[in-house]
């Protein structure tokens, strides 16, 4: 049987458990990581972490024992932890890098591996290429060295570590935890059965603020939910808040590097508005100044705020493998992507859904007004905003061919108008994005982490957003991507 070719997508390698995500393939990637790091200081460790997915801790042990067999010291986190907590452990422990067993927000049948270099961010395209090359070599060559997990743990080649104290210390340098804890806020935290469980409550313990957990137990099937913090996956959390008694809802995806925000009325704050509120808070109340990087699927309203505060904004391809290195290069104050991932200056060049949620709690405390009022104030400042995304799923078996068909169609016959509006410019380096004269836009992009096409739009009204989405879907062709 021919070995499955392993490719890293937007953020790591993801595959269906027992189909392509197998112990054999996990070992191959682990041998690839060891080979990639072989020339580095043999005394510096590699961090290994995992989320709450099916057998995630066993896959993490597999990674750890392969790395240990190559002579690399391993720091294995002592329980499920958010990806950014594992990444911060890499930085705090001065490790060479880290491997996190997670499929992030993907459906429960998936698992995956993310590699974090020594700076704690997503692996750059150059690093990804090397990892894929070394993994392919491991798959094609003779079996690499291995050691039993128990033996490596007993002799110290693998050490169990608690990542929480160092992470708490770091977050406390960025957010006023004491002020939030003492403010008497009532926060609902929905970790969506994922590895963010307990983190918000632990960071805010000791004061009058209360944190109520929803979906806080481990459930590898995610209770039938898709662990992405957007509606309708957050209907239960929104309903709880609509019933009264909360000032803020914070939700996180399966590995807690993304955030979903719900205001005190139970209304979901879409990811583009979250990005705008974050930049407004950082500039207006925290006094931060500096460059901003955003994905091409994020909001043009960041550009408006950037002009107001003297913060130049750069638009980049999707994924923190692009945003993160650029953040570090130019010392950006914020990195923002549509999927609810945000990175901050002074932290990791990487998403942190826990920190993002805490910034919202700080925002409410410092402003002295509810989030719904802040949303209205922001709308008056930067203008009306509407946004939506549609996901269309493919069968996994034919995804590559269907993806190519969609791209061929848009390359060969790009639209000159959509929904009756002239296209004034376009961008085709990462999906296909089309702008209208007033800055509204619509984009079609095939996912790099699961078999689906996403179609996005931002405009001034929900009606125009729907029209632009319908228009671009008509250009793509409904038969190319059946609804899922």
pLDDT digit string, tens, across residues 199-229: 999 999 999 999 999 999 999 999 999 999 9
d(CA 357, CA 192): 14
With pLDDT > 70 as the criterion, what percentage of the chain qualifies? 98
pLDDT for res 446: 87
This prediction has a pTM of 0.93
Name the pairing type of β-strands 334-337 and 313-316: unpaired
Name the pairing type of β-strands 268-269 and 259-262: antiparallel
Residue-averaged pLDDT of the chain: 94
Q: Is the pLDDT of residue 396 over 80?
A: no
Burial of 313 (0-12, 13-18, 19+ CB in 10 A): buried
pLDDT digit string, tens, across residues 339-357: 999 999 999 999 999 999 9
**What mean pLDDT comes out for the span 240-249?**
98
Instruction: Average the pLDDT over each of 164-173, 365-374, 387-396 and give the range with the smallest value.
Output: 387-396
**What mean pLDDT comes out for the span 165-192?**
98
Listed residue (207, 170, 177, 209) closest to 82, CA to CA: 170
What secondary structure, in 3-state letters, does 68-86 show? HHCCCCEEEECCCCCHHHH
Partners of 259 in the β-ladder: 252
Partners of 58 in the β-ladder: none
pLDDT digit string, tens, across residues 422-470: 999 999 999 999 999 999 999 999 887 778 899 999 999 999 999 999 9
Question: How does 279-292 read in b/e, with b if 16+ C-beta sit within 10 Å?
Answer: bbbbbbebebebbb
Listed residue (448, 481, 449, 460) closest to 379, CA to CA: 460
305 three-state secondary structure: helix
pLDDT digit string, tens, across residues 44-81: 999 999 999 999 999 999 999 999 999 999 999 999 99
pLDDT for res 403: 84
d(CA 148, CA 158): 11
Backbone angles phi, psi at 271, to 5 degrees: -60, -30
**Can you list the domains of the chain with their CATH numbers?**
13-162 (3.40.120.10), 167-382 (3.40.120.10), 386-480 (3.30.310.50)
Write the CB contacts of 87 (distance below 8 Å, at least 6 apart in sequence). Answer: 98, 100, 116, 120, 121, 348, 350
Torsion (CA) 466, 471, 475, 480 in degrees, nearest 10: 30
Q: Is the pLDDT of residue 137 over 90?
A: yes
Name the band, by pLDDT with cuts 50, 70 and 90, for residue 3. Answer: low
Count of C-beta atoms within a 10 Å radius of residue 39: 7
pLDDT for res 483: 42
Burial of 115 (0-12, 13-18, 19+ CB in 10 A): buried
Q: What DSSP assignment string belongs to 266-285?
A: S-EE-HHHHHHHHHHHHHHT
């Amino acid at each position: 049987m021919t070995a499955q070719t392993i490719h890293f997508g937007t953020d790591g390698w993801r595959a269906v458990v027992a189909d392509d995500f197998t112990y054999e393939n996990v070992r191959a990637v682990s041998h690839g990581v060891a080979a990639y790091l072989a020339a580095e200081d043999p005394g510096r460790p590699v961090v290994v972490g995992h989320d709450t997915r099916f057998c995630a801790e066993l896959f993490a042990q597999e990674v750890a024992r392969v790395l240990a067999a190559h002579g690399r010291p391993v720091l294995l986190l002592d329980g499920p932890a958010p990806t950014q907590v594992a990444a911060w452990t890499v930085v705090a422990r001065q490790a060479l890098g880290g491997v996190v067993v997670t499929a992030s927000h993907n459906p429960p049948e998936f698992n995956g591996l993310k590699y974090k270099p020594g700076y704690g961010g997503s692996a750059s395209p150059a690093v990804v290429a090397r990892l894929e090359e070394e993994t392919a070599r491991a798959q094609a060559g003779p079996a690499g060295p291995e050691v039993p997990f128990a033996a490596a743990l007993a002799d110290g080649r693998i050490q169990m570590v608690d990542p929480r104290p160092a992470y708490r210390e770091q977050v406390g340098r960025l957010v006023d935890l004491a002020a939030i804890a003492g403010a008497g806020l009532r926060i609902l935290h929905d970790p969506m059965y994922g590895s963010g469980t307990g983190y918000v409550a632990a960071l805010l313990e000791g004061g009058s603020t209360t944190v109520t957990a929803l979906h806080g137990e481990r459930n590898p099937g995610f209770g039938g939910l898709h662990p992405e913090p957007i509606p309708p996956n957050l209907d239960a959390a929104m309903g709880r808040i609509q019933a009264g008694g909360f000032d803020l809802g914070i939700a996180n995806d399966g590995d807690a590097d993304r955030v979903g925000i719900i205001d005190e009325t139970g209304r979901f704050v879409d990811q583009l508005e979250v990005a705008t509120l974050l930049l407004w808070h950082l500039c207006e109340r925290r006094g931060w100044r500096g460059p901003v990087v955003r994905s091409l699927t994020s909001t043009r309203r960041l550009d408006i705020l950037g002009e107001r505060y003297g913060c130049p904004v750069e638009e980049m391809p999707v994924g923190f493998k692009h945003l993160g290195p650029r953040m570090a290069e130019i010392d950006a104050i914020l990195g923002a992507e549509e999927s609810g991932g945000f990175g901050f200056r002074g932290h990791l060049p990487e998403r942190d859904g826990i920190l993002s949620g805490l910034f919202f709690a700080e925002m409410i405390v410092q402003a002295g007004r509810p989030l719904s009022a802040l949303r209205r104030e922001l709308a008056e400042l930067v203008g009306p905003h509407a946004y939506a995304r549609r996901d269309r799923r493919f069968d996994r078996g034919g995804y590559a061919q269907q993806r190519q068909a969609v791209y061929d169609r848009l390359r060969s016959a790009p639209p000159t108008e959509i929904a009756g509006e002239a296209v004034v410019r376009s961008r085709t380096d990462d999906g296909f994005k089309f702008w209208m004269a007033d800055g509204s836009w619509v984009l079609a992009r095939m996912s790099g982490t699961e078999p689906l096409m996403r179609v996005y739009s931002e405009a001034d009204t929900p009606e125009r957003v729907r029209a632009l989405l319908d228009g671009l879907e008509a250009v793509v062709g409904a038969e190319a991507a059946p609804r899922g």
